[in-house]
Amino acid sequence: MYAIQTFSLTKYYGSSKGIEDLRLTVEQGDFFGFIGPNGAGKSTTIRTLLGLISPTSGTARIFGKDIVTQKQEILSDIGYMPSESAFYQNQRVKDILTFSAALRKKDCTAQTALLCERFSLDPNRKIRELSLGNRKKVSIVCALQHMPSLYILDEPTNGLDPLMQQEFYAVLEERNRQGATIFLSSHVLSEVQKRCTHAAVIREGSLLISDRMDALGHASAKQVTVRGVDALPASDQIRNVQKTGDTLRFLYSGSPKDLLQTLSALPLTDLSIAEPNLEEIFMHYYAKENP
Amino acid sequence: MTLIRHELSLGKQTLFIWTAVIAGLMALCIFIYPDMEQQMQDIGDMFSNMGGFSAAFGMNQLNFGEFMGYFCVECGNILGLGGAFFAALSGISSLSKEEREHTAEFLLTHPISRRRVVAQKYGAMLLQIALFHAAVLAVTFLSVQSIDASPDWSMLALLFLAYFMLQIEIASICFCISACCSVGPGAGLGIAALFYFFNIIANLTESMAGLKYITPFGYAEGADILADRSLHLPYLAVGVLITISSILLALYRYHQKDIS
């Protein structure tokens, strides 16, 4: 059974497109990265999955349950972290955590205490006194304290200091090892590359690619660096050319044989061919759509 | 019940302040009645014969020399208008504040249906109005006892019932608006004031008497209640219909709504 499965999921805000014909699958137990720049449709996808907004057409299933008709059952097993955490200003952290647990009809006392300790969160502080980072910690504890099977995290590390980010991912990896599915949206590509086993790239509301992290790099392009060359021959397979001094760096999406043939005609002094990092893969897919 | 407790906890400060202010003003008006009683008998005729002004506030039907006449005008306006403002604020902020303050995303990603959110928030709002009303009623009762006035208790109870219904209706209308769009508390106060002025206009002009069906101040007009010794049922029936329609529309609209 898939943790998340969308079927031509589409959301329009009036005439403006949020997402269109989104077909996404996330396997149970996966650590999945959902990447795209601001406004690409990541949050619209997440908000549709959580039932905050209704799809214009199409549908989606979470653990096989329909997101519209079985929303309550789905939400009881999801831990959600929004990109911007907002809580009731006059309440204390402990009030928010207790309220969240009560809405889920669960006693989370032990987990709440443990998580507050791990994230150095004082439950007696008033929400209005908290910094952005501390509000984010409240959001983390709310998402984790009831031990859900699926974590949907929208830009989760935004506002967290590096130590807390490390602790946060340590907890997520523990939960993932215990069988939970992690679905995180981010535009911090390095964190997706480091943590996720699968990733999908979204652009202007449409899914560009979804694959295993290693396959994504392998299938997309090679990152080529050549020295001693001023310019490259025009080719549809060469993209994202960057020049630094006498070094040219580019992404090559053709066959290795063609690449070597092209390069053999150039006065190279040095050559390096490597798998691109996620940022380069990301740029590759975006450049492909915007040549 | 979780959300009702949460709402009561969030609203307790506002409830306390509004209850203290309105109950305090009511008590003050009642306490000064013995001093005003003689003067009221002297100027009662003047108050009753100021043409349109007297009609606008129903003073042409009241005897200011009697406690109930005095109570209707002075305390009636405080509880009628003050209570309407409190009810409007409670209703207008109930659902829309969650969107304005971006807490709707937190609340609605918990396993609680939108219908349950609407029902529990409405329940919490009703409870707050009931607590407000009960406290004001208790203070009024004690204040009246302390000045040794002898009011018509059944009429006093009827007046309080009318103001309670008025508050529920205004709160329900504002609650419905709150479910449909994200508006600030000013909109609620504006609606309460609008209904108050509709009643004044209806009192002033015969041709606009139909406004009494629209405004809840129509069936909560103290002068009419004292004169008829009952609530005007057609006005009340329309009010009940508006209240029920508002609740149903709020349920329907909030269930469908995209939370931004």
Is residue A90 less than 8 Å (CB to CB) from chain B? yes
Residue of A nearest to B97 (CA): A88
Contacts of A141 in chain B (CB under 8 A): none
Measured CA to CA, the distance from residue A277 to residue B186 in angstroms comes to 53
Residue of B nearest to A54 (CA): B258
Give Cβ neighbours of residue A224 (< 8 Å, ≥ 6 apart).
A249, A250, A251, A252, A259, A263, A271, A272, A273
Beta carbons of B106 and A51 less than 8 Å apart:
no
Mean pLDDT, residues A215-226 taken together = 74
pLDDT of A229 strictly over 90: no
pLDDT of A232 strictly over 90: no
Find the angle CA(A156)-CA(A157)-CA(A163) to the nearest 5 degrees.
140
Instruction: Please give, rounded to a whole number of angstroms, the shortest distance from the CA of A64 to a CA of chain B.
Output: 17
Of the partner residues A51, A78, A84, the one whose CB lies closest to the CB of residue B102: A84
User: Residue B51's pLDDT is what?
Assistant: 63
Measured CA to CA, the distance from residue B213 to residue B258 in angstroms comes to 34
Contacts of A53 in chain B (CB under 8 A): 258-259
Instruction: Please give, rounded to a whole number of angstroms, the shortest distance from the CA of A209 to a CA of chain B.
Output: 27
Of the partner residues B9, B10, B105, the one whose CB lies closest to the CB of residue A82: B105
Measured CA to CA, the distance from residue A22 to residue A203 in angstroms comes to 11
Instruction: Please give, rounded to a whole number of angstroms, the shortest distance from the CA of A281 to a CA of chain B.
Output: 31
Mean pLDDT, residues A23-35 taken together = 94
Is residue B259 less than 8 Å (CB to CB) from chain A? yes
Mean pLDDT, residues A167-180 taken together = 95
Give Cβ neighbours of residue B157 (< 8 Å, ≥ 6 apart).
none
pLDDT of A288 strictly over 60: no
Residue of B nearest to A56 (CA): B258
pLDDT of B23 strictly over 50: yes
Q: Please write the tens of the pLDDT for every residue from B145-169.
A: 898 778 889 999 999 999 999 999 9
CA distances from residue B177 to A84, B8, B145 in whole angstroms, order as listed:
26, 21, 41
Measured CA to CA, the distance from residue B129 to residue B83 in angstroms comes to 8
Tokens of B122: 């409405």
What three-state secondary structure class fits B64?
coil
Instruction: Please give, rounded to a whole number of angstroms, the shortest distance from the CA of B13 to a CA of chain A.
Output: 11
pLDDT of A183 strictly over 70: yes
Lowest mean pLDDT among A114-123, A223-232, B107-116, B250-259: A223-232
Q: Please write the tens of the pLDDT for every residue from A193-210.
A: 888 999 998 888 999 888
Measured CA to CA, the distance from residue B199 to residue B211 in angstroms comes to 7
pLDDT of A69 strictly over 70: yes
Measured CA to CA, the distance from residue B45 to residue B43 in angstroms comes to 5
CA distances from residue B72 to A26, A105, A178, B77, B153 in whole angstroms, order as listed:
67, 48, 69, 7, 13
Interface test with A, best of B5, B102, B105 (most A CBs within 10 A): B105
Cβ–Cβ under 8 Å, residues B25 and B85: no
Residue of A nearest to B113 (CA): A72
pLDDT of A12 strictly over 90: yes
Mean pLDDT, residues A115-131 taken together = 93
**Chain B 10-29, CB below 8 Å of chain A: which residues?**
10, 13
pLDDT of B53 strictly over 70: no
What three-state secondary structure class fits B120?
helix
Contacts of B13 in chain A (CB under 8 A): 90
Lowest mean pLDDT among A243-252, B9-18, B21-30, B98-107: A243-252
pLDDT of B50 strictly over 70: no
Instruction: Please give, rounded to a whole number of angstroms, the shortest distance from the CA of B226 to a CA of chain A.
Output: 44
Helix/strand number for chain A, H first, E second: 10, 15
Is residue A56 less than 8 Å (CB to CB) from chain B? no
CA distances from residue A250 to A100, A162, A242, A258 in whole angstroms, order as listed:
49, 31, 6, 15
- Neighbour-count burial of A269, counting CB atoms closer than 10 A to its CB (0-12 exposed, 13-18 middle, 19+ buried): exposed
What is the DSSP secondary-structure string of B178-224?
A: HHHS---HHHHHHHHHHHHHHHHHHHH-GGGTTHHHH-TTTTT-HHH
Domains of chain A: 2-216 (3.40.50.300), 222-275 (3.30.70)
Is residue A89 less than 8 Å (CB to CB) from chain B? yes
User: Residue A291's pLDDT is what?
Assistant: 47
Measured CA to CA, the distance from residue B128 to residue B105 in angstroms comes to 25
Measured CA to CA, the distance from residue A284 to residue A252 in angstroms comes to 9
Measured CA to CA, the distance from residue B170 to residue B248 in angstroms comes to 15
Measured CA to CA, the distance from residue B151 to residue A141 in angstroms comes to 58
User: Residue B49's pLDDT is what?
Assistant: 65
Side chain identity, residue B184: G
Mean pLDDT, residues A73-80 taken together = 95
Among candidates B162, B171, B65, which has minimal Cα distance to B126? B171
Tokens of A2: 């898939």
Of the partner residues A54, A75, A90, the one whose CB lies closest to the CB of residue B110: A75
Measured CA to CA, the distance from residue B49 to residue B59 in angstroms comes to 8
Is residue A52 less than 8 Å (CB to CB) from chain B? yes
How many independent structural domains does chain B possess?
A: 1
What is the DSSP secondary-structure string of A250-273?
A: EEE-S-HHHHHHHHHTS--SEEEE
Cβ–Cβ under 8 Å, residues A53 and A68: no
> Rounded mean pLDDT of chain A?
88
Torsional class of A63: left (φ above 0), alpha (ψ -120 to 50), beta (otherwise): left
ipTM over cut 0.95 = no
Measured CA to CA, the distance from residue A10 to residue A109 in angstroms comes to 39
Beta carbons of A53 and B258 less than 8 Å apart:
yes
Of the partner residues A86, A88, A103, the one whose CB lies closest to the CB of residue B2: A103
Of the partner residues B3, B101, B111, the one whose CB lies closest to the CB of residue A86: B101
Band (pLDDT 50/70/90 cuts) for residue B42 is: low
Mean pLDDT, residues B18-27 taken together = 95
> Rounded mean pLDDT of chain B?
89
pLDDT of B48 strictly over 60: yes
pLDDT of B62 strictly over 70: no
Interface test with A, best of B101, B103, B110 (most A CBs within 10 A): B110
| Residue in the structure block whose two tokens are 């935004």 | A158
Beta carbons of A51 and B108 less than 8 Å apart:
yes
Of the partner residues A13, A99, A103, the one whose CB lies closest to the CB of residue B111: A103
Question: What is the distance between the terminal CA atoms of chain B, rounded to a whole angstrom?
Answer: 26
Is residue B145 less than 8 Å (CB to CB) from chain A? no
Give Cβ neighbours of residue B194 (< 8 Å, ≥ 6 apart).
none
What three-state secondary structure class fits A61?
strand
User: Residue B239's pLDDT is what?
Assistant: 95
Lowest mean pLDDT among B60-74, B96-110, B177-191: B60-74
pLDDT of B43 strictly over 80: no
Lowest mean pLDDT among A14-23, A105-114, A281-290: A281-290
Measured CA to CA, the distance from residue B150 to residue B143 in angstroms comes to 12
Measured CA to CA, the distance from residue A76 to residue A98 in angstroms comes to 15
pLDDT of A63 strictly over 80: yes
Interface test with A, best of B106, B120, B258 (most A CBs within 10 A): B106
Cβ–Cβ under 8 Å, residues A210 and A47: no
Give Cβ neighbours of residue B10 (< 8 Å, ≥ 6 apart).
A88, A90, A91
Residue of A nearest to B5 (CA): A99
Identify the domain containing residue B161 by its residue range: 2-256
Measured CA to CA, the distance from residue B79 to residue B61 in angstroms comes to 19
User: Residue A286's pLDDT is what?
Assistant: 66
Mean pLDDT, residues B189-196 taken together = 94
pLDDT of A289 strictly over 60: no
